[in-house]
Amino acid sequence: MKPLKLRTKIILFTSLLVIAVVAGSFLMINQVVKTQVRKRLVRDLERSQQTVEQIQKDRLREMVAYSIIASENSTLEAAIETYQTELKSNSPILEQLRRTVENETAKLFDILKRDLLVITSNSGEVLSMEGTHLPAVRSNLNLADQLSIRNCLSPTPNDYEQAAGIWRFQERTYRIVSVPILLQDIVIGTLSSGYEISQHLVETIKLNTDSDVVFVAGGQAIASTIDHPRNQILLRALKTLPQIAAPQSESQTEVILEGETFLALQIGEGSASGGGFVILNSIDRAMRNIMGGIKVTLVFIGLFSIVIAMLLGLALSQSITQPLMNFVNFMGEITRSGKLQRKFQPQRPNYEVDVLARSFESMAQSLAESQAESSRYHEELRRKELNEEKLSRLATRSRLDALISQINPHFLFNALNTVGVLIDENPEEARRLTVKLASIFRQTLQASEREVVSVQEELRFVQDYLEIEKARFGERLQVEERIEVNNAQIPCFTLQPLIENAIKHGAALKIGTTTIRIAVLQDNGHLQIQVSDDGMGMTESVRRNMLERGYGLRNLIDRLNIHYSSEFAWNVDSEFEKGTVVSLALPCHPSATSA
């Protein structure tokens, strides 16, 4: 899988951050809106409750007013009183008295304009009944078992509101309110006037309150503004949910009807005698009405924010990656042309790249000067042939510098390629390795001027070099060291080529982890140096011709010949797919030939 570039990573990160912020904002707004919607619906339920109660109170007040009208009807009162008196003696004028009551009831009904008017005796016997679209009433009808009638006939009646009840008559349901007609403080009859509980009534209440209304009595929905399936679910909820099923309860609770959540309030107990209203307000519907516009707004804000974030991410990535890519291109041009005198011209200032560029230019200048000095040495040797020893020393010096000048560009370009690979993958690591590379260049310049360095200095240089290689290989490259040296010097760049070969021919070609082991031991004036790896190794034919394959190890052997005049030993053991061991045996100090 091809790794993502830094520019793509920054743009993706900023876009995902914006999406997360917008989504979090939507969830927070949704929660806040839901809380506010619930509070508003609670207030709406309270207003609806007040409306329903006010309607019933208005009807009750009308009943009181109608009782006054009935009390002023002396003919009706006299007929009722006479009827009840003559009833005891079974008088023949009872039918005439009943017709009188019926006539006066009809006149009173025309005045009251109610849905139903019933006149009873003190025992609850129906003397007369008037109503709109009222069929024939069976004889001997007695209403003493009705809650409102029984209350009115009681010697200690409750108030009208408490005494109101439900009466199902002729396939209709009525809200009955009974009022006693008083004569000398004695109950002599009952004015029973009510209004029908119908679909029209609950729809009228809904128009006034904007809430769904269901009238429940005896476990049935008498009239409702919601559909039948939801009515059945609501009736089951009234039985199982104590919050709204308990008598005299006026608390709000949530009810789910066919997947839609309602806030419900029950007014009254819903019993067969009293009945009660249930008021419903849809939470989901209110949320959809409010959140619809908010969702569209957040979508537009999110899209706009993503575009802005992508532009900002692109600008940020350009400011980081572009200078590094310019420098990598500059190094590539030098590699192709070999012109070490070229200067890096940045398009805009960048501290890290400027440090790397200055170090690189210093190194290139040193290499150019070394090449020029080598040319001067050769020119001087050609002119001066008088002193053979001096000529030999100059030739030896020239050869050594030439070998070092070969190592420097080779290591330089390999290290720069490693940094170049990290520029897109890990800019912070690239910056750190850039500073580390500059430190390596400084050590290289200092070491090449002295020709020999202490073992500790060589190891520090190798550690910096391994830092860069570990960044390239990651966990695939492991290093183990065993250093037992008190005080010894070796030619500069003795360990680095051996470690570079172990990485290049051992770790780079192997799939998995490769361990490089470095051992430097001091014993009786000699140094034993061994660099081994468990990488790919070499076949026997490749091992015999390895000095002809590359210049790294050959360069090292040539330089050791100059420094030690063949007073050293070296050996390479390798087995294909198992690893390679390179061993050196050197004097603790280079011979005077190198001075």
Q: Is residue 493 part of a domain?
A: yes
How many CA atoms within 13 Å lie on the side-chain side of 337? Answer: 10
Maximum C-alpha span of the chain: 177
- Give residue 534's pLDDT band: very low, low, confident or very high (50, 70, 90): very high
CA distance 381 to 392: 9
- Specify the CATH number for the domain of residue 536: 3.30.565.10
Query: What number of other Cβ atoms are within 10 A of residue 165's Cβ?
Result: 23
Q: What is the mean pLDDT of the chain?
A: 75
User: Is 0.85 topped by the overall pTM?
Assistant: no
Q: How many domains does the chain have?
A: 2
Q: Is residue 200 part of a domain?
A: no
Q: Are residues 347 and 438 in the same domain?
A: yes
The dihedrals phi and psi of 27, each to the nearest 5 degrees, come to -65, -40
Q: Which of 404, 432, 450 is the last residue of a domain?
A: 450
Domain range for 542 is 478-595
The dihedrals phi and psi of 330, each to the nearest 5 degrees, come to -60, -45
Q: Are residues 438 and 493 in the same domain?
A: no
pLDDT score recorded for residue 398 = 42
Task: Evaluate whether 476 touches 513 at the Cβ level (below 8 Å).
Answer: yes
Q: Is residue 392 part of a domain?
A: yes
> Which residue would you say has higher pLDDT here, 51 or 411?
51
Q: Write the DSSP symbol of residue 507.
A: I
Q: Are residues 346 and 410 in the same domain?
A: yes
CA distance 557 to 323: 40
User: Token match 């065993």: residue?
Assistant: 482
Token duo for residue 366: 């040193």
Query: What number of other Cβ atoms are within 10 A of residue 548's Cβ?
Result: 8
Exposure string of 49-77, with b = 16+ CB inside 10 Å and e = fewer, is bebbeebbeebbebbeebbeebbebeebb
Give the containing element (helix H, strand E) for 261. Answer: strand 260-267
Q: Are residues 343 and 433 in the same domain?
A: yes
Q: Which of 28-42, 91-105, 134-148 is predicted least confidently?
A: 28-42
Q: Are residues 482 and 595 in the same domain?
A: yes
Q: Is residue 210 part of a domain?
A: no
Q: Are residues 418 and 501 in the same domain?
A: no
Residue 529 pLDDT exceeds 90: yes
Task: Evaluate whether 580 touches 572 at the Cβ level (below 8 Å).
Answer: yes
pLDDT score recorded for residue 400 = 45
CA distance 353 to 324: 6
Residue 247 pLDDT exceeds 60: no
Q: Which of 434, 450, 466 is the last residue of a domain?
A: 450
Q: Are residues 503 and 576 in the same domain?
A: yes
Q: Is residue 437 part of a domain?
A: yes
Q: Is residue 360 part of a domain?
A: yes
Q: Are residues 412 and 485 in the same domain?
A: no
Q: Is residue 400 part of a domain?
A: yes
Task: Evaluate whether 77 touches 127 at the Cβ level (below 8 Å).
Answer: no
For the stretch 349-385, pLDDT in tens is 666 667 777 777 777 778 777 877 887 887 777 777 5
Task: Evaluate whether 516 touches 503 at the Cβ level (below 8 Å).
Answer: yes
Give the containing element (helix H, strand E) for 161. Answer: helix 160-163
User: Token match 């609501």: residue?
Assistant: 234
Q: Which of 402, 430, 450 is the last residue of a domain?
A: 450
Q: Are residues 443 and 492 in the same domain?
A: no
Q: Are residues 408 and 482 in the same domain?
A: no
Q: Is residue 136 part of a domain?
A: no
What amino acid is encoded at 180 in this protein? P
Token duo for residue 105: 């009831």
For the stretch 261-306, pLDDT in tens is 888 887 777 777 777 888 888 877 777 776 667 667 767 777 777 7
pLDDT score recorded for residue 30 = 67
Q: Are strands 477-484 and 514-523 parallel, antiparallel or unpaired?
A: parallel
Q: Are residues 482 and 434 in the same domain?
A: no
How many CA atoms within 13 Å lie on the side-chain side of 83? Answer: 26
Q: Are residues 392 and 491 in the same domain?
A: no
Task: Evaluate whether 380 touches 394 at the Cβ level (below 8 Å).
Answer: yes
For the stretch 454-493, pLDDT in tens is 888 889 888 888 888 887 788 888 999 999 888 888 888 8
